[in-house]
Structures are given as structure tokens and as C-alpha cells.
Structure 1
């Protein structure tokens, strides 16, 4: 009987060990020369009108000291975006892609408006068609006087494994509606 129990325990141990293995292979990477690409384009974030490019999908019930409707982008509001990227700042400028993602208003004081955003900035025309850069960063919108910076955390296509930063300058903003046209100057490091 003890021999049978020993054989059974041995079988269970062997089966458990074989299930814990997985396939993996490591090989040396071919080192490629890192490139830097600088891009300038405009992002149009329109939250007003009948055909907005960004819509509020959630907001806080209580934000303290006022209503979420006190501004177009109230504290705690979460927006989904599908913003056009264009060559120039005009609304009829040639579209070269779209910025899709989300942003949340992270400041109680509207005079210090800051959003935290995740966006995939995808190019649908030109040299970088099918490629994108991904940003995930704090964006201090109220700092209109100068440029503000957000971080590039990845990319795909020609920008695979991208890193870098985007300097954003507000070209035009309507604080009543929240509509904005922003100049993006991206410095992208990639392979």
C-alpha cells in the first residue's frame, strides 16, 4: 500500500512540474541605430456643437464648492477623444491623422486647469502612415504663456519602441466652450 501511495505522489509531482514550464527563448538583439524624428502638427479638441471630437463620458457627482457645469471641463470629468490631427491650425487644414484616447480634468481650480491624458496619436497619411506615438502624461493646460511638455511612452509602426516628448502650445482656446486648437511639436526617439 505504501508503495502505491509513493508512486501516486511521484506521478502528481512530475505532472505538477511539467505544467509549470513554459516556452521561452532568449537571443541577442541586433542593435540598430537610434533615430530622432521631429514632427509638428495641430490637434483640434472640439467639445461643443453637434459634432464634437471629444465628449464627456463621466463626471463626479460632487466636486466641492461648485458644480461640474461651472466650466466646460469640470474637475473630475472624463472625456473620450477622437481629435483630428492637421498640418496647420485652420479647421480646413489637411488632416494627417487622429488623436484617440481619454483625458481627465485633474484640478479643482479652473484657473490652474490640468488634465491627465492618454492618447494614441496615429498618422493616416504621408511618410508615417500607419504609425503612431502614444502619450501618457500630465498636461497643465492653464500654462498658456509658454509651452508645456507631455511624455511619449511608446509607439507603433515606424515609431515602435518610441520615447520622447511633445511640447504643446495653445494656438487657440475658447474657455467658455472648451474648444481648443493645440500645436504639437514632437521629438520622437525610435529605432
Structure 2
């Protein structure tokens, strides 16, 4: 009987104390009155699948696409560490890199589309240590396309926005590409 009484008191104590602990995790903070900024960026992403030191490598490939001899058949997943450069030349200054994944997501080769999940980080200049993230569909065969920016860190904290992408160079045999990025970021 005494054990049941102790257990009952312990349960009452736990129920009574639970709301007190809940308040610690529900603190509401009024945001500061910081002004939203708009930043426009222009750079070139160099995506290299060929050669001795590729910046994009095949991580997984669907068994059903073995007969597809394109460099990026449907269902292929690539890990990337692509340099961001100030120009189209392979010797132009590197200002950062894009790290992440892209997935070949279109079954119709004439409408080649990837889904891109990448963090675009800057390693030099005014935005060194800052990055923004893209998570978006990228219809590669369209001359001009737009992808969504869904976040950021550093100077681009809480970023949102979009990037217009235009292909400056593409090699259909190797899959190597140079992409012209014009980015508009809204951030605090």
C-alpha cells in the first residue's frame, strides 16, 4: 500500500511540474527591426565530369538506365564540389564553390532536367564565409531558367530569392558545363 501511495505522489509531482518546464522552451522573441537587403551576384559555375580531377562524380545510377549512354542518364545522382569563378575561362579567379547533389530527374532526354540541392559558398572577397542554398528543379535544356534560393548563412542569413541560369558552355559527350549565374538574394 505504501509503495502505491509513493507512486501516486510521484505521478502527481511529475504532472504538476511539467508546465513549468514547458515555459522554458516556448520563449517568444520579438525580431529586431533590421532592414531587408537585396544583393545581386554574377558568377560562373564550372561543372566538370571528365578528366583526372572532376568536380562532379557519379554516386548512384539506376539499373534500368544502363543502355542510356548519355553522361547523365535518368536516375543518376552526382555529388558536386564545383568551383565558382568570375569568368568562363578555366583560369579565371575562383571566388567560391558549390557543394551538394544533383539528380537527373527527366525520363525524356530532349527535356533534360535535374533537381539541384547545393550550398554556394564564397571563399574570397566581401562575402567570404557566407553562402546561400538552392533546392530547385533545373530544366537544363531551356536557354534561360530560374531556380529557387531557400536559405543562407553568414551575410546571407535567412536568404531567399532566385537565380537565373544560362548555359555558357556544354559538351554533350563528357557532360562538362559552364553555367552563368545571375543571383538575386533577399536577406537581413
Q: Taking structure 2 as the reference length, what is the TM-score of the superposition?
A: 0.93
Partner of 1:124: 123
Q: Find the partner of 1:169 among 166, 173, 180.
A: 166
2:179 pairs with 1:189: no
Structure 2, gaps ≥5 residues long: none
DSSP-derived class of the 2:64 partner: coil
Alignment of 1:116-155 (within 5 A): 116-144=115-143, 147-155=144-152
DSSP-derived class of the 1:82 partner: strand
Q: CA deviation at 1:50?
A: 0.9
Q: CA deviation at 1:28?
A: 1.2
Q: CA deviation at 1:179?
A: 0.3
Q: CA deviation at 1:8?
A: 1.8
Distance, in Å, in 1 between the alignment partners of 2:16 and 2:41 is 52
Structure 1, gaps ≥5 residues long: none
Q: CA deviation at 1:16?
A: 5.5
Taking structure 1 as reference, are residues 14 and 52 closer, same or farther at Cα in structure 2, changes over 3 Å only? same
DSSP-derived class of the 1:62 partner: helix
Q: Taking structure 1 as the reference length, what is the TM-score of the superposition?
A: 0.91
Q: CA deviation at 1:106?
A: 0.2
Q: CA deviation at 1:177?
A: 0.7
Distance, in Å, in 1 between the alignment partners of 2:12 and 2:129 is 50
Q: Find the partner of 2:42 among 35, 40, 43.
A: 40
Q: CA deviation at 1:7?
A: 3.9
Residues paired across the two proteins, number: 185
Partner of 2:28: 26
